[in-house]
């Protein structure tokens, strides 16, 4: 299901310029780099085509940068799949050298690599985050699928740093039933904020 990169190339499923649709940086222009490869396997994942890295072309860091520089925004979001299956040090340093902020969206289930301005940790029950990554998160974004996920979310809220932003996000296909639950929960527990996948409502990538 996953094939980690072993050279200076990375399996890129897709790369595109859009607006960040969720979490702390919602609404900002962003260049997304979605890498292939995932060993977490969430059954509700909306990008299951990313799981097998071998299905996606290998791009050098220079090729990735060449495309990223075409757009005026200077926020790069590395996502997947599970991007930490790959060594992201060279890519992130290169992006920062040409003026990009580097953000990652990760389950935290593989060792951290790369230089990051922002780490969004989205832990999954299917494969837990590594303990050493949890306190490094700038943003904790927990996908809520059912009422039991709130208690599970609190276990990670208790482990992140005091400055970490806390978000609850409805699983897209269950949004109609879980969103009212999230609203009620946040009203009772105001340390949390709501994260919505605005890009899906707006029908943008």
Confidence band (pLDDT; 50, 70, 90) for 45? confident
What pLDDT score does 138 carry? 98
Upstream peptide bond of 81 is cis (omega within 30 degrees of 0): yes
Average pLDDT over residues 29-38: 96
Confidence band (pLDDT; 50, 70, 90) for 100? very high
How many other CB atoms are there within 10 angstroms of residue 103's CB atom? 25
Confidence band (pLDDT; 50, 70, 90) for 47? confident
Q: Which of 37, 47, 162, 31 is nearest to 102 (CA)?
A: 31
Q: 9-202: which CATH topology?
A: TIM Barrel (3.20.20)
- Asked if residue 40 lies in contact with residue 127, where contact means CB atoms within 8 angstroms, the answer is yes
Confidence band (pLDDT; 50, 70, 90) for 1? very low
CA 135 → CA 94, 108, 120, 138, 181, distances in Å? 25, 11, 11, 8, 27
Q: In what order do the strands lie in the sheet with 29-35?
A: 58-60, 9-19, 29-35, 75-79, 101-106, 118-121, 139-144, 165-170, 193-194
> What is the spatial distance between Cα 84 and Cα 113, in angstroms, rounded to a whole number?
7
- Sign of the CA dihedral 136, 21, 170, 80? negative
164 CB-side CA count, 13 A: 23
Confidence band (pLDDT; 50, 70, 90) for 205? confident
Instruction: Tell me the per-residue pLDDT of 145-195, one tens digit each, with 9 for 90 and over.
Output: 999 999 999 999 999 999 999 999 999 999 999 999 999 999 999 999 999
Domain boundaries, the chain: 9-202
Instruction: Work out the angle at residue 88's Cα, subtended by the Cα atoms of residues 83 and 94, and round it to the nearest 5 degrees.
Output: 130
> What is the spatial distance between Cα 39 and Cα 81, in angstroms, rounded to a whole number?
8
């Amino acid at each position: 299901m996953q094939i980690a990169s072993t050279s200076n190339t990375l399996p890129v499923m897709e790369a595109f310029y859009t607006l960040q649709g969720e979490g702390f940086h919602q609404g900002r222009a962003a260049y997304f780099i979605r890498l292939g490869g995932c060993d977490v396997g969430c059954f509700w994942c909306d990008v299951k085509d990313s799981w097998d890295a071998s299905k996606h072309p290998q791009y050098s860091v220079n090729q990735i940068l060449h495309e990223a520089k075409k757009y005026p925004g200077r926020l790069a979001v590395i996502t997947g799949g599970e991007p930490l299956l790959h060594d992201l040090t060279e890519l992130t340093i290169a992006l920062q050298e040409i003026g990009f902020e580097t953000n990652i969206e990760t389950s935290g289930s593989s060792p951290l690599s790369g230089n990051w301005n922002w780490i969004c940790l989205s832990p999954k029950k299917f494969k837990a985050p590594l303990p050493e990554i949890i306190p490094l998160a700038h943003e904790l974004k927990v996908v809520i699928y059912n009422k039991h996920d709130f208690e599970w979310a609190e276990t990670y809220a208790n482990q992140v740093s005091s400055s970490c932003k806390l978000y609850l996000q409805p699983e897209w296909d269950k949004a109609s039933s879980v969103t009212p639950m999230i609203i009620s929960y946040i009203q009772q527990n105001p340390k949390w904020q709501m994260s919505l996948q605005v890009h899906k409502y707006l029908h943008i990538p």
